[in-house]
Each structure stands twice: as C-alpha cells, then as structure tokens.
Chains A and B, each alone.
Chain A
Amino acid sequence: MTRQEYNITAYTENQIGLLNRIAIIFSRRKINIESLNTSPSEIEGIHRFNIVIHETEDVVRKIAKQIEKQVEVLKVYFNTNQEVIWQEMALYKVPTDVIAEKASVERLLREHGARAVVIRKDYTVFETTGHREETDTLIKVLQPYGLIEFVRSARIAIIKHSDGFNRKLREFERTEPGSEVVENEFLNNRDEVFSM
C-alpha cells in the first residue's frame, strides 16, 4: 500500500478536550498531522475538523474509525486529494518600497490570483488562496523582493461526493434509530465508506 495525502473530515460536538482526544489517536501511532483546521459547521453547535495526514489507506481507515468511535464525534469521512475540493490561504509581508520600486505589482497580483490586504508605508501584505504549489510559487516570486514574513493556513476541504451532513444529522438526533434509517448509502461498498 502506498502512502499519500488523505483528508479526514470529522463532524463533532463543540466540546472542550475533544481536540486532545482526537490528536492522541494520531500521536500514539506516531503519525504527524500535516494540517488541522477546526471551525463551526453550518449546523448550530457542531464543529468540523479537517485533518491532513500522509499515510496508507489501511491506516487512515482504522484511524477514521477510531475517531468516529469517540463519544462526541458524530461522523468521520476520509478522502484522497482527488475526492475533495480543497484550499489553503497564505499571507505574504513584503517591504512596500522594494515591491513598488522593483516589481510590476499589478501583474504579479494578477498572475497569482493574489490581492493586497494591507498597504502601509513600511510594508504590504498580500493574500492568496489555492493549492500548496500555488501558494509556494508566490513565496519564490516574492523572495527576491525581501519577503519579511509568510504564513499559511490549515487546509479546508469540501467532499465532492457528499450530500451534505444535514440529512445525516437528523438521523443522529432521532432517539431510537430504526432499521429503516439508511445511514450508509454505500452499504455494499465497504471500501468507500464505513458507518457506525
């Protein structure tokens, strides 16, 4: 099995301590988290984690199950990069005088889909959003102009083949899940999705 980037999406209750509970599932297996983002989801009180790791499918599947097993986790999905729409945001701080003097700022912005967030006398902050290689390219471009500071956000991702979480949540809120509840539309396709 080959290792590749996987995007783990977890829907959870908004509970103190849950981040630690999820993080130790990775650390006990000596797996490095490449990127982690947590934010409120579209549903009141439910948070969404986006976690990126570099692993084999077999390991990711087991980890996803172990995360979903936690009491305060509602649902976990895992997907390769091809199965998600994903973005990272980056900010670049460069000296205003250098960039204004030496670079064709407008062209630079257009070429990289970037925009100026702040322009001050002493420095300018650009922002761009995209895949890793896109944000990396702009670092290389700005390096000769005296790049002062750079920061990149965690990855956020939307799963291409999902019908949203709203419907699933309604099932979770039923106190007595009956046999007619279709929790897993991929029932006979265990390799794609698992469900509790």
Chain B
Amino acid sequence: MLTQEKTTQLAPETALQTMSGAEMTLRALLAEGVDTVFGYPGGAIIPIYDALYDFQQELNHVLVRHEQGGIHAAQGYARASGKVGVVFATSGPGATNLVTGLADAQIDSTPLVCITGQVFAHLLGTDAFQETDIINITTPVTKWNFQVTEASQLPEALAKAFYIARSGRPGPVLIDITKNAQLQKHDFAEYKPCNHIRSYRPAPIVRPEYVAQAAELINQARRPFVLWGQGVTLGKAEAEFRAFVEKSGIPAAWTILGAGALPTEHPLNVGMLGMHGNYGPNVLTNECDVLIAIGMRFDDRVTGRLDKYAKQAQVIHLDIDPTEIDKNVAATVPVWGDCKETLPMLTELIEAKTHPEWRQRFEQYQAEEVAAVIQDELFPTSDELTMGEVIQQLNELTHGEAIVVTDVGQHQMVACRYAKFNHARSNITSGGLGTMGFALPAAIGAKFGRPDRPVVAIIGDGGIQMTIQELGTIMQTGVEVKIIILNNQFLGMVRQWQELFHERRYSFVNIASPDYVTVASGYSIAGKRVSERGELKSSLQEMLQHPGSFLLEVMVTRENNIFPMVPQGCSVSEIRLR
C-alpha cells in the first residue's frame, strides 16, 4: 500500500558497527533520504533483499513485474518529486533490462541510482551464471558507473553515486555490487555524504560579463524570443524564470520536457516548439532578432533543419552543461551556469518591456492554427472521437492540476500540445529517447513520488502492450493511477509517416489489442471502454472519482494525423498545417 512520506530518521550511526555490505547499502540509502525503491530480486542481489527484510518500516520497496518497469517507475518518481529515483535489480538479465531506462534517463537528465547485484568477484570474467559485464554495457548510457568488489568501498561509492546523480546536470548512475561485497562484514561508522569530487565540476562558474552581454542584447532586441526546456525545472528555477519573462515581456515557448515551468494559461506562454509544436513559435523562430534559450539543448526535433534555423538571430544560451553550448546552434553569448543563479542576474540588468506588436504576431499565427487544426481536434463535428477532445475534456475536469504521464507516439504529441499544466513536474514523458512502454510504469512511480496529486497516464494501444505487465504492480501495491488508453488500432505515428512519406504503404502498423477492460479486471483494476462522445465526459469523471486505479479505453479515429508538422529535413519555417 502507499505509505505516507517517511519522517522516520534513523539515529546517526556515530559508533563504529560491524555490518554486511548489504546493510551498509540500505543505511546509505536512508542517509541519502531515500524513502522508496523500485526493484526485482534475483540471485546476485539476495543479500540486499535479505537486509531489506529488516528495513521494511523505513524503506518502501515496490516490487515491479520487469526491471524495465522498475527503472521507468524510478524515472517517474524522480521526475514528479524532484528526488533521486532508486532501482534494485539482479545481475545478468536483471541488469541488462535496465539499459533502456538508463538511456532514457541519460538523454532526459533524470537523476537515478541503480543498484545491481553482480556475481562473486572471483567469478568475474568467467561467463558465470547470470554474469554480464554491466559496467561496460552501461557506460554509454550512464553519467557515471562503478563496480564495488569489496564492502569497504560501498559507503564512498554510494555517496558519490547520489552526489553525481543529483548535482549539476542530473543523470543516471549505476553501482554494480558483487555478491561477496554484499555479504562481507565491515566496520561502518557515520555515513558521510559526498559534496566534492576532485575531477567533477557539476556547475561551471558563472561569468557576470556574459550575463551583462546577454542583458545588453535583450535590451536592444525588438523581436526577442525565449525558448525554455527542462533545465528550468531541474534547476528549481520556475519562480526566477517567471520573474525574468514577466519583466522582459518576451514571448516564451517550451520544449516538451519544459512544459509546466510557466503555466499553460500564462499570457507570455506562446506554446510548444518543434516537430509537432505550435505554428507561431516555429515560424517566428526564424523571424526573431534575439533568441534566448534557457535550459534546453536544441534537439533536432525542436530545430528541424539546422542550416535554416534562426540564422537571422543573435543567440543567448543559458545552460549548466557547457557541452550543450555551441553543440547544435552557435551561441552569440554563452551564459554558463545554473539558471537559478543566472536568471536573477539577468532579470536585474534587463529593462521592463511589453513588446505588444511582436506578441501580436504570435496571436495571429495562433488564430490561424486554431482555425486549421485545433478547433477540429478539440471540438470535432465528426462522429468519431479524437484524441484532442479526450485531453480537452480531461483539462476541464482536472483544471491543470494533474500529473500527466504519456507514452510515445501520436497520443503523446496530442497530450503535450493540449494538456493544461499549472505546475512544473506535471508533464512526464519520454522526450529524448522516445521510449514506448514508458508511461504505465512511470505513472506508477510518479504517484509514489507525489501521492498528493492525481496521476493520469495517457497511453497508446502500442505502448501499453510493451509494459502491460506493470498492471500487476498496481494490483499488488494498490497505487492509484488513472490510465487512459487512446486506441486508434494502429501504431499511429509510424502509420502517419507511412501515409505522408511512404505512399500509404502501411507496413506492420496495424496492431491488434486485447480486451483491455477484461485484462484490467484480471488484475482487479476497474475499467471501461468508450467510443461515443456522449459518454466521454461522464466516463472520465467516473475514472477520476473512482477510489483506486482505473483503466479507461477510448476508441478514437483510426487514421488521424498530428498537425502542425515540421517534416524531417525541413526548416521550422516550413511547418505544415495539413
């Protein structure tokens, strides 16, 4: 069952005690403030699970149905709560099942500490049962990883793991612990958290002269445009960002991971960037004179064709990760640093403005987009339900207060485009990696991370079938997740591409589904299927009011395309409305 946030703090272990590596591991987690762990036991991690038996009061362990579900749940937990997500998995296949989640967390900068069991140290390299070289397998998809072969190494390794995962630009860390290190007894005194590593610079030193140069450019700008990404949320700088935007009067658009840092309804929030973003923000990227990118990395899905991207603009780039500056788009002024620190410095130096004419340009494009796309999507006149109207009705019932977790595909783009967000950390989606199967486990994790907020998972008929086994996790824990399956009986995004760019040669996108309501019922989860407009609102209400999890399958138009769209290889100016 869901437990309230833990308030129990173990007394600091000042006296020297002798304990197993496994117990040291759990004490380290508690010292780091961990309250929830997602995991799946196995041979090489049994000692840690054995120690966990005595820590059930202090640590809430969520038994998932597959390690991929475990790591996506940890991602959802981290993204919703802002804390570090923790996963346990055993060696071999248990560890390799984490790889997709690690790649996802690496590209979306999610703080995770994954603890994997490993075969005994003397067996390393012998192709022992359930042995995989998980350190080398996960090197490209972790911020840092480390193999512990002696219990004495554990406290320092774990302290470094948490520090690296959560500091600077966050990311996933994997600690692989051989079974002998888990079993070995060792002296354990007070746990010392890590706050400095000689070779690691989590945040670059802020250069005031660059901030001053940026302010000067902004003050001279006649058509400035702000693009923001998840960096604002990761830096806990929502208030600083809002103050900057409101004083400068600059229209601001978001990447899908940035959604929510400024409320959807805020007058300066002009919408979503990128391939399926809004019309105005895309077109006007190529008409602004100063482009201010804050905590975003100019992903190819945002920029489209780079050689035709914002060439007329002077670019100011605020980022904590110097690697991102000048990577895809050359910056005129690089503002290195944590935006929580740099934004207030910038706000102080800029003049208060309103840019009314420039902002009007966005409104004109918005009106065009409403007429061409949005009206029909949100308020359709056809008989069939659209994905957009489901989101629209959900907005009316949740008022932008829900955490929306999406999978990957057409429904993801619709949800990101139309869902209302009043708060940051409300749009949890797999952005950089585009991992189908992400939403169901991530929603479970998000609810554990924020039990005080309603969590709605919006999933396609393809994605749900990739991690559907996690319904078992819901059944066993009783966690309350509202699941909406938008079923168009296709792998919709691939089908759309096949229609637009491959002469409608629908190659293997016609995916069959089980009866989801029956499947849910097998897991003791209430459910309902809707295909009529008249039943939509009441069914959504029923879902939200139901005490516990609920699965709502909505049958939507089979062949609906997501527009606007910046086709691959085109510039943002060439965005299509139909």
Q: Which residues of A come within 8 Å of B, CB atoms? A: 12-13, 16-17, 20-21, 24, 28, 61-62, 65-66, 68-69, 71-74, 172-173, 175-177, 179, 181, 183, 187-188, 190, 194-196
A173 contacts B198, CB within 8 Å? yes
**A28-B140, A177-B205, A179-B205 known; A194 vs B322 contact (CB < 8 Å):** yes
| Residues in A neighbouring B147, C-beta threshold 8 A | 16-17
Which residue of the partner chain, among B199, B200, B323, contacts A66 with CB atoms under 8 Å? B323
Which residue of chain B lies nearest to A64 when distances are taken between CB atoms in the complex? B323
**CB proximity of A81 to chain B, nearest CB, Å:** 24
- 8 additional contacts (CB under 8 A) given A71-B197, A194-B322, A196-B201: A17-B145, A20-B136, A24-B140, A65-B327, A66-B323, A72-B199, A179-B205, A179-B206
**Interface contact B140-A196, CB-CB below 8 Å:** no
Min CB–CB distance A190 → chain B (angstroms) = 7
Is there an interface contact between B139 and A65, defined as CB atoms closer than 8 Å?
no
* Chain A residues with CB below 8 A from B321, complex form: 69
- Tell yes or no: B334 within 8 A of A by CB: yes
Bound CA span A17–B164, Å: 17
Please indicate the chain A residues that have their CB under 8 angstroms from the CB of B204 in the complex. 195-196
CB pair B139 A12 closer than 8 Å? no
Q: For A24, what are the chain B residues with a Cβ–Cβ distance below 8 Å? A: 139-140
B-to-A contact residues, CB < 8 Å: 135-136, 139-140, 143-145, 147, 164, 195-201, 204-207, 209, 321-323, 326-327, 334
| Complex Cα spacing A187 to B205, Å | 12
B206: chain A residues at CB < 8 Å are 179
> Given A187-B207, A196-B204, does the pair A172, B198 have CB atoms closer than 8 Å?
yes
A20 CB → nearest B CB, Å: 6
- By a CB distance below 8 angstroms, the chain B residues around A71 are 143-144, 164, 197, 199-200
Bound CA span A16–B157, Å: 14
Inter-subunit contact A13/B199 (CB<8 Å): yes
> B197's closest neighbor in chain A, by CB?
A71
- CB-defined contacts of A69 to chain B, threshold 8 Å: 321-323
| Residue picked from A17, A68, A179, most chain B C-beta under 10 Å | A17
Find B139's partner among A20, A176, A196 (CB 8 Å cutoff): A20
Q: What are the 4 closest A-B residue pairs judged by CB atoms, nearest first?
A: A175-B196, A65-B323, A74-B199, A71-B144
Nearest CB of chain B from residue A187's CB, rounded to whole Å: 7
Closest residue of chain B to A72, judged by CB?
Answer: B199
Report Cα–Cα, A181/B205, bound state, in Å.
Answer: 9
A16 to B209, CA, bound (A): 39
CB distance from A146 to the nearest CB of B (A): 42
Q: Which single member of A13, A17, A28 contacts B135 (CB below 8 Å)?
A: A17
Q: With A and B bound together, what is the CA distance between A194 and B210 in angstroms?
A: 14
Chain B residues, CB < 8 A from A68: 323
Minimum Cβ distance to chain A for residue B403 (Å): 31
A27 to chain B, nearest CB (A): 9
Nearest-CB residue, chain B, relative to A180:
B205
**Nearest CB of chain A from residue B331's CB, rounded to whole Å:** 9
CB of B504, distance to nearest CB on chain A (Å): 35
User: Which residues of B sit under 8 angstroms from A175, Cβ to Cβ?
Assistant: 195-196
Residues in B neighbouring A190, C-beta threshold 8 A: 334
Residues of B within 8 A of A187 (CB): 207, 209
How long is the Cα–Cα vector from A73 to B197 in the complex, in angstroms?
11
Contacts of A61 in B (CB 8 A): 326
Complex interface: chain B residues within 8 A of A196 (CB): 201, 204, 322
Give the docked Cα–Cα distance between A28 and B195 (Å).
31
Whether the pair A172, B199 counts as a contact (CB closer than 8 A) is yes
Residues of B within 8 A of A13 (CB): 198-199
For the complex, give the distance between the alpha carbons of A175 and B194 in Å.
11
Instruction: Write 5 A-B pairs (CB below 8 A) sorted by A numbering.
Output: A12-B199, A16-B147, A71-B143, A194-B322, A196-B322
Assembly CA distance A187 to B196 (angstroms): 24
- Once the chains are docked, how many angstroms separate the CA of A16 from the CA of B146? 9
Q: Which residues of A contact B136 (CB under 8 A)?
A: 17, 20
A183 to B206, CA, bound (A): 12
Write the chain B residue with the least CB distance to A45: B198
